[in-house]
Amino acid sequence: MRITRFLLTLGLVAVTSLAATAENKKLLLVTHSGGFMHDSIGVAEDVLKEIGPKNGYDVTCWRFTGDPDAKVKYKPKKDGPEVTTTALEKYSADYRARTGKTVEKENCGRINKETLKNFHAVLFFTTGNPTTKEELNDLIEWTRAGGAFAGTHCGSDTLYNLTAYGELLGAYFKTHPPITTVKVKIEDPKHPAAAGFTNGQSYKDEIYIFRDEPYSRSKLHIIFSCEDGSFKPNANQSRKDNDYALAWCREEGKGKVFYTAFGHMKEVWKDEGFQKHLFGGLNWATGQLPGDATPSAKIK
């Protein structure tokens, strides 16, 4: 009997230990859209909440990161009268028009040193200004201390007024042509974020072109880009160096940063290949999978 109890105890300890080591990471998805509001942000939230736990992440979604009670004036109809309401009520109306969902107080949060303690990773699918200068400083310090910061698509169309954000993410959005199909050039096939894609694979989405600064291969490890000749923006949009990166990573102190330009279309978020790519990047950023972060310009 004592042997049986001893074995049962060992079994319980083993199960408890396994549960502890297999505990999911905490991921914060931020979709605050102070500029253009993508209709795919609601789909992104649904997808990540559904598949996040299966991929090792419990997902919290903040749709609005401003002051929900701030008073704002706007015209619900172009030719109608101006009304005064709260920032949350106005944002919720815009969000409902784009996604079919509303924004309640429980969908709101502020990014600061106290709230960031609750998360292992933060993913921006944002536009406009989802943080204040002080909140951005907290986000940067959290990353430098070992946090995992990631952005997808319009995460680069964010916080133009705070250049420290562009340096953290690695680039700012400049422009894009209409939705098109490009061929993916895998530059680091060993990186976890290369999962889900094959070299030369055709992929359809809204392809971003980035500003000359701060984007630089001397600062970023490019995971994949557009295959030469497969992406043909017009003369006013094209980069002089014809460098059209699609995904990259970098280190920030003890922390890591990952970005993917994909994510405009709803279909992309539902695509298993993109999902593998995204979680591969997150797993690298949270230190669960190894991967190179050497700036591409320094690789011989």
Report the pLDDT value the prediction gives residue 94, as an integer from 0 to 100: 95
The reply to whether 16 falls in a domain is no
The reply to whether 4 falls in a domain is no
The reply to whether 100 falls in a domain is no
Q: Give the distance from CA 104 to its chain's centroid.
A: 22
The reply to whether 26 falls in a domain is yes
Is pLDDT of 162 > 90? yes
Report the pLDDT value the prediction gives residue 188, as an integer from 0 to 100: 98
The reply to whether 3 falls in a domain is no
Helix (H) or strand (E) holding 63: none
pLDDT band of residue 22 (cuts 50, 70, 90) is low
**β-pair partners for 186:** 224
Is pLDDT of 295 > 60? yes
Q: What mean pLDDT value characterizes the chain?
A: 93
Assign residue 237 the CATH number of its domain.
Answer: 3.40.50.880
How many structural domains comprise the chain? 1
pTM over 0.75? The answer is: yes
Domain limits at 205? 22-66+109-298
The reply to whether 158 falls in a domain is yes
Distances (CA, A) of 293 to 45, 155, 193, 218, 298: 28, 20, 12, 11, 11
In terms of Cβ atoms closer than 10 Å to its own Cβ (0-12, 13-18, 19+), residue 167 is middle
Report the pLDDT value the prediction gives residue 12, as an integer from 0 to 100: 41
The reply to whether 83 falls in a domain is no
The reply to whether 96 falls in a domain is no
Per residue in 135-149, pLDDT (tens digit) is: 999 999 999 999 999
Per residue in 203-231, pLDDT (tens digit) is: 999 999 999 999 999 999 999 999 999 99
